[in-house]
Structure 1
């Protein structure tokens, strides 16, 4: 079937940032195919939003064959998409030495492998449009107790950069973009496997899923290769470039505590690592009272130019003035 301009796919779209992106796409008149593991949340979405607007499929994004089968079904139903968003993720809050090999591999398989499989499936069917991969400030500045998640996000940067160059070489009409997110108030902090003595929280400053979706929509419809979302991400990236050793020590002192809320953790809560958690289809988590709906969204290439060319120029001008 031919490609249209108003078909989108969101892998990992039944909760969290992906769920907010689904709403944003629907508001712009797109039909949205949603992939996620949890059938109950998908059924809820189909009932609430209408099967004429959303096409929900239960898919484990870590399985390449399952992803390709789902993509083929979307194309047969509606046609090829013009937007594809890879948003699925898993994490744990755990010291590395206490994390099992199975846990680490599961996080890599979904958080990295899901984006790889989604991109592969998208490129088999899209002849034009935009693939958006969801990254994180932690792709540049890792934090303690999330070693697997940070490893996956670092790898996504390398994967996307390689594929982007291949698409440019091919003069493809499909392009790929990265959105590096800050701490977002999503359900992951309610359902991720946790070995801390307190309930996890997004490390402040905290932003809403709607703010994240705004950045994703800009990436999906614009031309920027990478967006940095929130001043905290900008600080993490450029702080790491200038003072990596200082940040290592600071995060050794404060990095774990900043991820702990003041809420007690029962220790036996249901988690979503190996199977979907019983949780409604919503974007927001439990920290909405502290989440901001607005902030800075920066073109990463422009930010780098300002830092590396603007700072020396400013120093030169100051020198002229003082001289």
Structure 2
């Protein structure tokens, strides 16, 4: 079944987790491209500031909500419908995290990660599909490289992203079988420079840090918005597909790499300025919001050639062909 999606400039886009990081980068880019945007997050003050900064008037609506509460997400949908008449793309981006050894992290913290990440995506997907079932549109869930390749000290986060992948795959098949015109995409970022670490609760003796390569949040945002216009099943950012395939096809090797290199690399040795993070509602805003980029100390990549090639295969092929023709021409002149 062919699914046709509107150009972004004609869309209303709902983005959860829009007060920082990937969500904020996506919101900024969507507004720049003419979309009407609904910003959703727990931090009301940050959302108000972001709406003012976007300077897009009535094209931007902000709704304070905790995605782990279905009633609050239902309110997001109802306020969006009241303000814009409906929505065309729903992006389940909100996420939380806790770092620490599995046996040292409190059950309540593991539970909160699952409530936000899995149940927030579950509720959002259910609400979005109910609205889009007849009119069509896009549902975009944010998974992770950890949807396949779990990281040390990140058990509940990795578990939540595994669960999101499974739920998204099942939902996609069921919608395809019923010929429902909704595109269902799983975006899988790898290490991304956002405020993620500041917002994560941390049991480790030092601040955690993602292993490189690390990508700018705008790399993920461009991929998300491409999927909002062009139906796609999976979108991998950077080296996410390589690491996913490694975990699936050579699990013992993946375990060895995580045990030998990643385990130590995650522990930066630097003091953690925000060990409580923003996992629980009582800590929202304490670690800061309102920024797309984080404070990664190393190189941050502004492009993912792999992602660009997979999302724009014809353009990439044409560029390679032009480059090859230019190289042949240059070599031909030198050979005269």
Partner of 2:13: 8
Distance 2:191 2:217 in 1: 10
User: Structure 2: 5+ residue runs without aligned partners?
Assistant: 1-5, 314-336
User: Pairwise mapping of residues 1-323 of structure 1 onto structure 2 (< 5 A)?
Assistant: 5-50=10-55, 51-126=57-132, 127-230=135-238, 232-265=239-272, 269-275=275-281, 276-278=284-286, 279-287=288-296, 290-295=299-304, 296-297=306-307, 299=310
Q: Is the 8 A contact 2:199 2:277 kept in 1?
A: yes
Q: Is the 8 A contact 1:95 1:145 kept in 2?
A: yes
SS at match of 2:86: coil
Give the CA RMSD over aligned residues.
1.9
Q: Is the 8 A contact 1:19 1:281 kept in 2?
A: yes
SS at match of 1:77: helix
Distance 2:269 2:44 in 1: 32
Distance 2:84 2:183 in 1: 21
User: Structure 1: 5+ residue runs without aligned partners?
Assistant: 303-323
**Do the aligned partners of residues 154 and 299 (structure 1) sit closer, same or farther apart at CA in structure 2, a change above 3 Å counting?**
farther
After TM superposition, the score normalised by the length of structure 1 is 0.87
After TM superposition, the score normalised by the length of structure 2 is 0.84
Q: Is the 8 A contact 2:10 2:34 kept in 1?
A: no
Q: Is the 8 A contact 2:105 2:203 kept in 1?
A: no
Greater strand proportion: 1
Equivalent pairs, count: 297
Distance 1:58 1:288 in 2: 32
1:98 Cα deviation from its structure 2 partner: 0.7
